[in-house]
Chains A and B, each alone.
Chain A
Amino acid sequence: MLDAYGGALSTLVQPINMLVMIIGVLGGLIVGVIPTLGGMTIMAILLPFIFVMPSAETALILLIAVYSVTATGGAVTSILVNIPGTGVNAATLLDGYPMNQRGEGDRAIGAAVMASMAGGVFPVFLALAMIPLIMAIIMAFGQPEMAVLILVGISFLALLGSGSASKGLLCGLLGLLISLVGYHQITGVHRFNFENAFLYDGFALIPVTLGIFGLAELFDLLGKGKATIAQEGSTSSLAGVFRGVKDVWIHRWLWLRSTLIGYVIGIIPGVGASVATWVCYGQAKQTSKYPEKFGTGVVEGVIAPEAANNAKDAGDMLTTMSFGIPGSANGVLMLAAIMMVGIIPGPAMITEELPLALTLLIGIAIANLLAGTLTLFTAPQLAKIATLHIDYLFTGVMVVAMAGVYVASPSPLQFIVAFIFGLLGLAMKRFGYSRPALLLGFVLGGLFETYTTLSIKIYGPIFFTSPISLSLLGILVIMFALPYLRRTLPRLLRRTR
């Protein structure tokens, strides 16, 4: 175990990895600041760069840096411009923007950034402490349990994610079906490839991901027809920023509660950071001596959600790496990235690739420290990025995205795949269908088929009879039944009375 820690730290301090970490942090902050672009878009655009990086570790460090810090950048836009930089910063603007209007924007930024930074670092220690426990649990997972776990993970993302549960499930199933396109390795049968040689190996991950998240966001942005995403915000002073930093210390128990809640919610597959931030905002209001002031610009309303949205990252990554089941949409892209470098997330990653797993967890802490320090001193300048004209954004992102598609799968035909999935992603976004559920199904479909087929061959068609499988299936049944029970139980109780 100690060797693994040594390996992780020596990987992180290599100059190339530190440089990549800084680039990732800067990129993540800039993208976080630009509303509607979001962490998913930039991560999808960066995925192809994995193939041209000197090592798998370097590639994943770049992505983990972006993954960890977009919410920190998003807080700046929420407070200064009244538009959440990323979806998880929505709760921050309820009190952050009124503080800014009152002339305390700098204080709100200080509090948000400090809560985010500390909230991103502390849970990493919790995750590192939990690894021995996780190792003991996952050693009990064989192929049948992994097959059931994948099914449960996709269902969780579909049922608990934003939007309709039935649409989420439909998208998860669609992703699973799309993953089966092409040559079936066990039997040699060609499935759903329209006798087209281009589809013999199925759809490549990068064009699909870039289309669904990158291109779809760009099309959506241009369709809205705005010249710039946000108007310029106010300026801030360093003294005010440090007053906000001090506020986090004054409300340290609130910060700790929010961080722990965020971390625990991050561990639960499919729930995501948005839930964590609203739960923490709610508990901050409930436990406050002056709940009626929430929404008018109280600093606790900024500290609680900002601590939570960064705290969930360590928990999310722990579940993603240990069980291969991500906790959020960004986690799905991290999962895809880990699989692209040839590592299967799950028991093998925590046992055989432990140094890499630790590198990524410690990377979250370092990225948060870098991002926090940088944002404290440059918040007003960062906020100006949100006022960038959409034409420049569109051309810049489009050129890099297309280059990325080609680098990942060197065939001009992949552009067509990216555009088709871009249009599908746009329609899904506009009509409330879950894109993360589709991508998770697509990413895990191949693994699910391998685990299921092997399980059936070894244990027979009823392979899910182990206590772990049955417990997981029990959780799944409860998850499905819960909305129905919530509707019908009160009615039944009323009748019996």
Chain B
Amino acid sequence: MREKGSLYMAIFFLLLGVYGIIQSIAFQYWEAVFLPLFFSSGIFIMSIVVIRQELRHRAQTDETPEETARAEAESRGGTRRLLQAIVWSVGFAIAIYLLGFRYAPLLWVFAYLKWRRRGWLKSIILAVAMAGFIYFAFEVALGFRMYRGIFFGEQ
């Protein structure tokens, strides 16, 4: 599983290297060209080295079908949990964009903890504590104006 992911990443970096080379050549002055070209070429070459290593490693590993199936099942569970975490994190970013730092932490922390079936009291206390921490630490103590959110007049 790990080898497969590593291989896909190396292929992604290889494509990035190719993109970098094509883009670099088009820049106007040598000062702007030579380092991007040098680094992109390096990425391209090192990606090929990594891909070769991964393919050789895959050929040498003799995983039984049961082991592969178990690893894939574990990975499916992990991926689901990971996707949930990412969705919740993106949700928090959207909440901040809409509601700003005064209300988004309050609502998001409470909603997440309730979704995770934590108790009402603990969820409320932690939500209020986090929102209070952001307000007092950044706005009161450090004097920084935090983002208010587009619902509250922020452009």
- Determine if B50 and A164 form an interchain contact, defined as CB atoms under 8 angstroms apart: yes
- Answer yes or no: B63 CB below 8 A from chain A CBs: no
- Answer yes or no: A396 CB below 8 A from chain B CBs: yes
- Determine if B50 and A419 form an interchain contact, defined as CB atoms under 8 angstroms apart: no
- Determine if B46 and A187 form an interchain contact, defined as CB atoms under 8 angstroms apart: no
- Answer yes or no: A225 CB below 8 A from chain B CBs: yes
- Answer yes or no: A483 CB below 8 A from chain B CBs: no
Give the chain A neighbours of B27 by CB distance below 8 A: 189, 191
- Answer yes or no: B59 CB below 8 A from chain A CBs: no
Contact pattern, A 413-447, Cβ under 8 Å of B = 1, otherwise 0: 00110010011001110111100000000000000
- Determine if A189 and B134 form an interchain contact, defined as CB atoms under 8 angstroms apart: no
Give the chain B neighbours of A249 by CB distance below 8 A: none
Give the chain A neighbours of B39 by CB distance below 8 A: 173, 176-177, 180
- Answer yes or no: A192 CB below 8 A from chain B CBs: yes
Give the chain A neighbours of B82 by CB distance below 8 A: 219, 222-223, 426
Partner of B5, one of A167, A400, A430: A430
Give the chain B neighbours of A400 by CB distance below 8 A: 133-134
Please give the distance in Å from B143's CB to the nearest CB on chain A.
8
The CA of A187 and the CA of B31, in the complex, are separated in Å by 7
- Answer yes or no: A373 CB below 8 A from chain B CBs: no
- Answer yes or no: A186 CB below 8 A from chain B CBs: yes
Give the chain B neighbours of A430 by CB distance below 8 A: 2, 5
Partner of A412, one of B20, B32, B97, B143: B97
The CA of A422 and the CA of B86, in the complex, are separated in Å by 10
Give the chain B neighbours of A176 by CB distance below 8 A: 35, 39
- Answer yes or no: A452 CB below 8 A from chain B CBs: yes
- Determine if A395 and B43 form an interchain contact, defined as CB atoms under 8 angstroms apart: no
Please give the distance in Å from B146's CB to the nearest CB on chain A.
7
- Determine if A415 and B35 form an interchain contact, defined as CB atoms under 8 angstroms apart: no
Instruction: Give chain B's interface secondary structure class.
Output: helix
Give the chain B neighbours of A160 by CB distance below 8 A: none
- Answer yes or no: A170 CB below 8 A from chain B CBs: yes
- Determine if B35 and A52 form an interchain contact, defined as CB atoms under 8 angstroms apart: no
The CA of A52 and the CA of B142, in the complex, are separated in Å by 6
Contact pattern, A 210-251, Cβ under 8 Å of B = 1, otherwise 0: 000001001100111100000000000000000000000000
The stretch of A98-106, A306-314, A341-349, A403-411 in contact with B is A403-411
- Answer yes or no: B103 CB below 8 A from chain A CBs: no
Query: Smallest CB-CB separation from A221: which chain B residue?
Result: B85
What is the size, in residues, of chain B's interface with A at 8 Å between Cβ atoms?
58
Give the chain B neighbours of A422 by CB distance below 8 A: 89
Give the chain A neighbours of B20 by CB distance below 8 A: 177, 192
Q: Which residues 1-27 of B have a CB within 8 angstroms of A?
A: 2, 5-6, 9-10, 13, 16, 20, 23-24, 27
- Determine if A184 and B78 form an interchain contact, defined as CB atoms under 8 angstroms apart: no
Give the chain A neighbours of B89 by CB distance below 8 A: 215, 218-219, 398, 419, 422
Number of A-B contacts (CB under 8 A): 156
The CA of A180 and the CA of B20, in the complex, are separated in Å by 11
What is the size, in residues, of chain A's interface with B at 8 Å between Cβ atoms?
55
Instruction: Using known A-B contacts A407-B144, A415-B96, determine if residue A167 contacts B50 with beta carbons closer than 8 Å.
Output: yes
Most buried by A among B46, B53, B84: B46
The CA of A164 and the CA of B9, in the complex, are separated in Å by 14
Give the chain A neighbours of B90 by CB distance below 8 A: 419
The CA of A52 and the CA of B138, in the complex, are separated in Å by 8
Please give the distance in Å from B33's CB to the nearest CB on chain A.
9
Q: Which residues 35-69 of B have a CB within 8 angstroms of A?
A: 35-36, 39-40, 42-43, 46-47, 49-50, 53
- Determine if B101 and A403 form an interchain contact, defined as CB atoms under 8 angstroms apart: yes
- Determine if A170 and B50 form an interchain contact, defined as CB atoms under 8 angstroms apart: yes
- Determine if B6 and A431 form an interchain contact, defined as CB atoms under 8 angstroms apart: yes
- Determine if B46 and A222 form an interchain contact, defined as CB atoms under 8 angstroms apart: no
Give the chain B neighbours of A433 by CB distance below 8 A: 6, 9
- Determine if A391 and B147 form an interchain contact, defined as CB atoms under 8 angstroms apart: no
- Determine if B81 and A403 form an interchain contact, defined as CB atoms under 8 angstroms apart: no
The CA of A222 and the CA of B142, in the complex, are separated in Å by 31
- Answer yes or no: A124 CB below 8 A from chain B CBs: no
Residue contacts A-B, CB under 8 angstroms, 23 given: A170-B50, A174-B16, A176-B39, A177-B40, A184-B32, A187-B29, A189-B32, A192-B20, A218-B85, A218-B89, A219-B89, A223-B79, A223-B85, A395-B130, A399-B108, A400-B133, A402-B93, A412-B93, A415-B97, A419-B89, A431-B9, A432-B2, A453-B31
The 10 closest A-B pairs by CB, nearest first: A223-B82, A222-B85, A170-B46, A189-B32, A431-B6, A52-B142, A415-B93, A187-B29, A177-B39, A173-B42
Besides A177-B36, A180-B36, A433-B6, 20 new A-B residue pairs in contact (Cβ under 8 A), listed by A number: A167-B6, A169-B42, A170-B43, A173-B42, A174-B13, A177-B40, A189-B32, A218-B89, A224-B78, A225-B77, A391-B113, A396-B130, A399-B108, A402-B92, A402-B93, A403-B146, A410-B147, A415-B93, A426-B82, A431-B9
